[in-house]
Amino acid sequence: MEKKIDESATCCEIIQTLRDMRVLEFTNEGYTPTYTRTDLTDKLHDVFGFRTDTEIVYLQKMKKF
């Protein structure tokens, strides 16, 4: 993962950021983010092709992540 984000963060920083990327589940609707966006969360979204920070993520889509 470090290499995919141009080594702009350490492995420990990436892991902690992923752990902190919490979402709130709306029953039978989907998920909405409860974490604060950072440069690192934006890079992870861009590199891995998913967004959880700007929209409600529906149940089917979240299962794919």
**pLDDT score recorded for residue 57:** 81
**Beta-carbon count within 10 A of 34 CB:** 10
Give a yes or no: residue 32 inside a domain: yes
Whether residue 3 lies inside any domain: the answer is no
Domain with 49, as residue range(s), is 11-64
pLDDT tens digit sequence for 4-13: 888 889 999 9
Q: Range with the lowest mean pLDDT among 34-38, 42-46, 57-61?
A: 57-61
Q: Which residue has the tokens 């974490």?
A: 35
Does a structural domain hold residue 36?
yes
* 57 three-state secondary structure: strand
Give the Cα separation of 58 and 8 in Å (integer): 30
- Asked if residue 2 belongs to a domain, the reply is no
Counted domains in the chain: 1
* pLDDT of 47 over the 80 cut: yes
Residue 17 exposure: Cα atoms within 13 Å on the Cβ side: 18
Instruction: State the Cα–Cα distance between residues 15 and 28, nearest whole angstrom.
Output: 29
